[in-house]
Every structure is written in structure tokens, then in C-alpha cells.
Structure 1
Amino acid sequence: MEYIIICDFDGTITLNDTVNAMADEFSVGDWRKLDEMWICGKCSGSEVSQKILEMIDTDEHKLREFIKNIKIDPYFKEFMEYIKEKVIEFYIVSDGFDFNIETILEENEIIGVICFSNMLQFEGKKLMGFYPNVNEDCKKCGNCKRNIITNVNIENKKIIYIGDGYSDRCAAKLGDYIFAKGELANHLKEENIDFIEFNNFKDILLKIKEII
């Protein structure tokens, strides 16, 4: 049996959500009200993301220095070593931004990982988001993880999904095995969908060794 692992980034690989952290650090205004509008379905994911970016007052250098200090799960590198050894297909899918992901992976010397996310560009202190994987029929999230999984899993492998948040809801349900914590775990409980609850990647690694 062959497997493909699809993994969220913010709050899953990282200990804190990088977009929330940078908004807390640099925004001028109450950005969390916008986040609530997204959860309630009043705004699309890309609309809310851009509005939050417009509230952030920083530049590329300051943001990079801040983001690089956000910690990752202490067992993630061990997990990556194992799946590379077993040659298991692995992708990061995120409704956050490429700048944050690339900065943290580089800081932690993690290379060769294929990532799908929203894109962040700088025009001085102006931050602009780009959303190449938005689902025009839904627009709930800036980066449609469900469509990405369908596109990358061309060999119809068994899907192992790892996530923690609202943007993982649709995609996680494609998983043959779902690892969840936080908001995603609460949602799956409400929907009576089987999943494996985890605290960190040590938990995930032990279970994946059993699965494969």
C-alpha cells in the first residue's frame, strides 16, 4: 500500500499560527474581528487575508526577523527524516503565506519540501496577498486544500491528513487517516468523523509507523 501525506503548516508544524502572530505583532487595529467574519462566512478567505495585511505596519526585513523566531514542533524534523527514509510522498498545504513558510523552513534547515499556499509580496511597507489556488465556486479559503489534494494525488494513494484548523475542514475529509487537534478535532467530533487526536509529531510518528 502506498501513502501520501498532506500536512497543514500554521499551528500544526509551527507551535503558533504565523499569520496570527504577525498580525498581533504588527497590525494597527483589531484584526481578530475580521477573522471572526471569515469564520461566520461573511467574507471570503482571500478578502479577510488581504484586509488583515492592509492593517499590518512592517517591512520585509522586520517581518522576516520576526517570523524566523517562531518555533516548530520539536519532533517535526524527526518525522521528516522518517518519511524521507521511507520515500513517502509529502506536501505542505497552507492557507497562510509562502514567505512565512519558506522563512521558517530555511531557519530550521528543512529543504526539499513542496508547499502550496497563498503568496505574499512587498511594496515597501505595503503587503499584498495573492491567491493562485482559490476555489472560485466556494472562496471559503484563500488556498483550496481539497482541490490541491485532488490534483496531486494522481496515483490515488491512501491519504494521511494532518491539520488543526478551520481551513482544514474540507480537505481533512478526503483523508483515509486523519490526524487532528484544536478546532479541526472539535469539528470532526461534531461530525462524527473518525480521526486520531495528537499533541505533537511524536504522537503522529508513532501512529504512522503502525499504519505503514
Structure 2
Amino acid sequence: MKTVVQCDFDGTITQDDQSFLLLDTFAKGNWRQLLAEYREGNISVGHFNTKAFAMVKEDKQTLLDFIKDKVKIRAGFSELLTYCRKNGFQFIIVSNGLHFYIDAILKHIGVNNIKVFAAQAHFSSRGIDVKYMGQDGSYSESEFKETYVRSFLVNSYRVIYVGNGLSDISPAKQAHHIFARDELLAYCKEASLNCTPFVDLNDVVRGLELLG
């Protein structure tokens, strides 16, 4: 069976959530109230990001200049990519974060040729216009990550999910195996959902070796 490793970005590959760093610094408004509404289940993560980033008026380069020296990559990322490549596993990043900074961070650390699916950002003086486009080109504010898991399942892939946050819960539940930390791990424990905890991405490599 073909294997795909679908991996989150913020808080999974990176130690911190880059979008939160950007919003804390540049958002002109109470974006954390929107975050609270999302955490309470009142709005989707896509709706949260769309409304929150509309509060950011700075240009793309200003944001990239700010974030490039702040990002901390979780240990084991390079080893995970090497393991997947050697074993013929497809590795993709599917994130509710913004494509422009994910792409820039990957290039900054010398990582190329990885498929990244994330929100598209259009910059203007009115704020950042964030849009989530599904695989078929249609607008997809909710279930963005889930659509990719389902697509791989339909195409007979074994899906390995790696994530950390609330937005990872629904897609992870559909995968064959879960590597989890933080809020995703807490949910798995509460729901008695089988998963492998990880501290860094070397733990994921070791777990994949055991799964075979």
C-alpha cells in the first residue's frame, strides 16, 4: 500500500505558531477574541484566520522580515524528510496557516520539493485577504485538512497524520495512524483514540520505523 505522511506546520514542524506571532505583532484589533470563539467551537479555523488576518495591514516583505529570525524548527524535521524519501513515502504539508510564510521558511532552511497546501494570502492596505482553496479549486473555509486526508484514502493510500492542534483532530481521526502532541494528544487520550505521542520529529521517525 502506498503511504502518505500528512503533516501540520505551525506547532508541529515549528515549535511555535507563526501566525500567532504575526497577529500578536501586527493585527490592528482584538484577534484573540476571535481565537477564543474558535476554541469554543463557535467559528471554524478558516473563518478565524480570515477575520484575524484582515486586521493586518503591513506588506508581505515586512512580515517575512519579522518572522525569519523568530522561527524555530522542531528537531528531527530533516531526519523525517530523509526517512520518508528513502522509504518511498509521500510527505506533504497541509496547514491552516498562510502559504507565503510557510514557503519562505522552508526555503530559508534549505528545504525544497515539498508539496505545501495552505491558505492563499492577498495583500492590500485594507488588510490581508485569506482564502482556502480546495483541491478542486473551490473555496474551502472549513474541513480544509480533512479534504486531503479523504482524497488520499479514496486513492488507497495508508495515511499517517502528524499534528498538534485543535484543527488536526478531525483529519487525524480519519487517518490510519496518528502522531500527536499538545491539544491533539490531549484529545486522543480523552477519546481513547490510538496515537503515538511525540516530543520532537525524531520520535515520529522512530514510530514510523516500528510501523513499517
Whether these two folds match at TM > 0.5 is yes
Task: Mark the runs of 5 or more structure 2 residues left unpaired by the alignment.
Answer: none
Query: Which residue is 1:92 aligned to?
Result: 93
**Are 2:66 and 1:66 equivalent residues in the alignment?**
yes
Do residues 101 (structure 1) and 139 (structure 2) align?
A: no
Offset from partner CA, 1:153-189 (integer Å, 9 cap, x none): 4531221110000111110011221100001111111
* TM-superposition CA deviations, 1:104-144 (whole Å, max 9, x none): 1111111111111111111257311012139xxxx7x6452
Distance 1:189 1:50, change over 3 A: same
RMSD: 1.9
Q: What's the secondary structure of 1:82's corresponding residue?
A: helix
Distance 2:112 2:153 in 1: 21
Where does residue 7 of structure 1 map in the other structure? Answer: 7
- 2:208 is matched with 208
Identity %: 29
2:34 corresponds in structure 1 to 34
Q: Which secondary structure does the structure 2 equivalent of 1:185 belong to?
A: helix
User: For the Cα contact (< 8 Å) 2:134–2:144, is it kept in 1?
Assistant: yes
Against the structure 1 CA distance between its residues 196 and 188, is the aligned structure 2 distance closer, same or farther, given a 3 Å change threshold? same
2-side partners of 1:193 and 1:157: how far apart? 20
1:85-164 matches, within 5 Å, as 85-124=86-125, 126-133=127-134, 142=142, 144-164=144-164
CA distance in 1, matches of 2:175, 2:34: 30
With normalisation by structure 2, the TM-score equals: 0.90
C-alpha distance in structure 2 between counterparts of 1:199 and 1:61, whole Å? 32
**Structure-2 separation of matches of 1:148 and 1:155:** 11
| CA deviation map 1:63-119 (0-9, x unaligned) | 011222212112101211121122211111111110121011111111111111111
Inter-partner Cα distance in structure 2 for 1:80 and 1:125: 38
Counterpart amino acid of 1:121?
H
Query: Tell me, what secondary structure is at the counterpart of 2:128?
Result: strand
Aligned residues: 207
Query: In structure 1, how many angstroms separate the alpha carbons of the residues matched to 2:176 and 2:44?
Result: 28
Whether 1:47 aligns to 2:47 is: yes
Q: Which stretch of structure 1 is more off in the superposition, 65-74 or 194-203?
A: 65-74
The separation in 1 between residues aligned to 2:134 and 2:39, in whole angstroms, is 19
User: Given the two structures, how large is their TM-score scaled by the length of structure 1?
Assistant: 0.90
SS of match in other structure, 2:168: helix
Query: Which runs of structure 1 show a deviation greater than 4 angstroms over 4 or more consecutive aligned residues?
Result: none
Letter in 2 for 1:197: P
Structure 1 CA distance, aligned partners of 2:157 and 2:98? 27
Distance 1:165 1:133 in 2: 20
Distance, in Å, in 1 between the alignment partners of 2:149 and 2:60 is 31
Maintained 8 Å contact 2:5/2:90: yes
